[in-house]
Structure 1
Amino acid sequence: MKQFLSFVKKEFYHIFRDHRTMFILLGMPVVQIIIFGFALTNEVKNSRIAVLDMAKDEASASLINELEASRYFEIEKYLLSYQEVEAEFKTGRIHMAVILPQNFSSDLLHLNTAQVQLIADASDPNMANTLTNYASAIIMDYLERITDGRKLPYTIKTEYRMLYNPQMKGAYNFVPGVMAMVLMLVCTMMTAITIVREKETGTMEVLLVSPVQPLKIVVAKAVPYMLLSMVNIATILLLSVFVLDVPINGSLLLLVLESILFTLTSLAFGLFISSVTNSQQTAMFISLTGMFLPTIMLSGFMFPIENMPGILQYISNVVPAKWYYIIVRSVMIKGTGLATVWKETLILFGMLLFLLFMSIKTFKIRLA
C-alpha cells in the first residue's frame, strides 16, 4: 500500500509541475461553466427590432412601449413606410419587424380585434420562432390588460406554465451538459495521455519492472484525476448555485455519487484508450472523436436527440454522457430521486464494468 501511495504522490507531482495541465484540469471547468452559462444560451435577449407604426395613436404607442420595456427586444429603428422593411432586413441590423396598421386603435375599440404583423428573419429559424413567440406573448398580455378581463365572444384563453424552469433560463440546460463535458475531458483524455506519455518517453518500462504490480501502477496514475474531478464537481456546483442561480432541487449526496460513477466510467475509458495506443496524438484523437465530440453532439444537451435520425438515436445510447446528463437534469433540476434514475444508473455501471474488463484485457505488461 505504501508503494501504491508513492506512485500516486509521484503522479500528483507530475501534474502540479505542468502548468498547462493544471490549467486544463482546474481552469477549464471554470471557463466552460461561465461561457456556457452566460454566452451560450438558448435564451434570446435584447434582439434588435424595427417598428412601423402607421396608426400613431395612444394604443399603438402603448403596445410599442410594452415591447420595448421587455428584456427581449430593443428597438433599433422606427420605419416610415412598408418599403423600408425588406431593406432594413438586408442590412442585418434587425431580427424582426413589427407592423401596426393605420386603423389599429379604432379596430381594437369598435371591432374588438386588431391586426399586428410580425416579420422575422428566418435565416435563423430557431431565433425567428423564439422572437415571434415572445412578441405574441407580450401582445396577448397587453390585450388581456386593456380588455380589463372582459370575456369577448369566442375568445380562447391559453395559459402557460413552465415546470422546473419558469424563467426559461438556458443555464438550467447547459450546467448538466458542462458537468459531463468537463469530467469527460479531465478523466478520459488526460488519463489516456498521461499513461501513453510514459510509453513514449520510455519510463513505462521502468515502472513495469518495479515491485508494484502493473495494474496498480495504472490505477495509481488514475487516482489523482479522480480526486481532481471531485474538485471540479464541487467548483461547477458552487458556480451553478451562486453565480448562475441554478438550484440543486434534489439530493446533493445522490448527485455527487452519480458524478463519481460517471467519473469512474470516464477514467475506465481513458485507461482503455491508453492500453490500445502508443502515442499521445493518437490517444488525444481517439478521446476527442470517441467521447468528447459525442458528448457535445449526442448527449442531448446541445441538440435534442428526438430530432435526430433513427441511427444516431441508437448510437447515442452508447455515449455515457447521455445517461449522466439525464441523471443530473433529473436530480439537480427536477428534484427527483434514485427511483427515477435507477435505469440510467445501471446503464452507467454496466458501461463501467465493460470498460474496466476491456482495459484489463488489452493492457500489456510488456511493451516490446
Structure 2
Amino acid sequence: MNDVSDHSRAQVAPPEILADLAAKAGVCFNGSNPWDIQVLDAAVYRRILSQGSLGLGESYMDGLWECAALDELFTRLLSADIEQKLGGMARLKLLFEAIRQNIVNRQKRARAYEVGERHYDIGNEIFAAMLDPTMSYSCGYWVNADNLIEAQIAKLDLICRKLELKPGEKVLDIGCGWGGFARYAAEQYGVSVDGITVSKEQQQLAQKRCEGFPVTIKLQDYRELSGEYDKIVSIGMFEHVGPKNYPTFFDTALRLLKDDGLFLLHSIGLDRTTANGDPWIDKYIFPNGKIPSAAQLSKALDRRFIIEDWHNFGPDYDKTVMAWWKRFDDAWDKLSQNKLFQNYDQRFYRMWKYYLHCSAGFFRSKNGQLWQLVLAKRDRPGRYYSIR
C-alpha cells in the first residue's frame, strides 16, 4: 500500500483528455461514487495515456489506484468503448496489436501448451478455492439456480441433454479442464469420455477426480486427435483456438464425429469482430487468446456443420464470475499464508481481483456473450429439438 506522500501526489488533476473520456462513461478521477477511480499516484495518468488498458491494469496491480466497485467501473468503461477513444501512443499500440494478430498465428501448435503453463498450471489450490466442487471453470446456468454449485450442475446437465447422451456412447471432451463434465456425464448418463487438456496440473487432478469412471484424460492438443466419437463437447476452450485455426478445429471435429453425432461448442463470444484482444488479459491471464464473433464462427462453420441451436446466456457469466470472486476472496488469507504458495503475494491478489472484476464488467456491459452451439453434419438423420 502506498504511503501518505503518494496520496498528496494524487491531488494532481488528470489530463483533460482522460477526464473527458472518463466522464463519457460516468466515471470521475477521485470522485465520490463507488465506481470512481481513486488515484494514489499521479503516474497512473501517464501509464494510461501511453499504454491504454495495459497501463490501467498494471498500475492497479502496482497499487497506484483503488476503486470500491471495480466491476461497475469496468461495466461503465466497456459500455462507453473508452479504449477505442484513446489517442496517441495507446492508439499506435492498438494498431500494432491488430497487425500482430492478423499476421502471426499466435495459437499455432508450437504454442498450444503456453496457456496451460502460464494460466492453468499456476496452482490447483487457487482454482479449487475459487470454483465450485465440480471444478467448472466456465459459465454456470442460473435460470433456476440459487448458488454457484447449482448453476454449474445445471450447466453440465443442460449440455448432456443438448447432446442427447445415451448410455454406452463414446464422448470426446476437447479442453476437459479438471474433468468436471467428463465425470458428470459418465456418472449421470453412463457414457465413456476421452478428455484432453494442455495443462499438466489439470490432467493430474482430473485423473484423480475421475478415478473409477470410464474416463481417460490426456495431455494433448486437439490437432493430434484421432478416432471416432458419438458426441463431442468443448466447454470454454475455443477462446484459445484463434481465428487462423478455426478451419482446422472444425475440420478435426468433423473428422472425429460420427455421421449421426452431435457437437456442442460452449464459448465466450463478442458482439463484434475485432482484430485484437485486450493486451492486459493477453499478458497476465490468457496468453494468445482471442474471443470469436458470431460472424467469425458462422464463416468457419460454413460448409462444415449445420447449426442446430445457438443459445446465448451471457448475463449468467456476470453472476458466475462474481461468485468466483467471493470464494477466492474468502479463501485468500489461508492461501497467502501457506508457505508452499509463495507466489501468491499481494500483487497476485490484485491481479486476480482485477481479472475477475473486469470479466464481470465485460459481460454486464454485454460486450461479452456466452454461446452454446449445437452442431451436426448435414446428413444427420431426424430432427433436433432445442433444449433450455
TM-score, normalised on structure 1?
Answer: 0.23
Higher fraction of helix: 1
Higher fraction of strand: 2
Q: Which has the larger radius of gyration?
A: 1
TM-score, normalised on structure 2?
Answer: 0.22
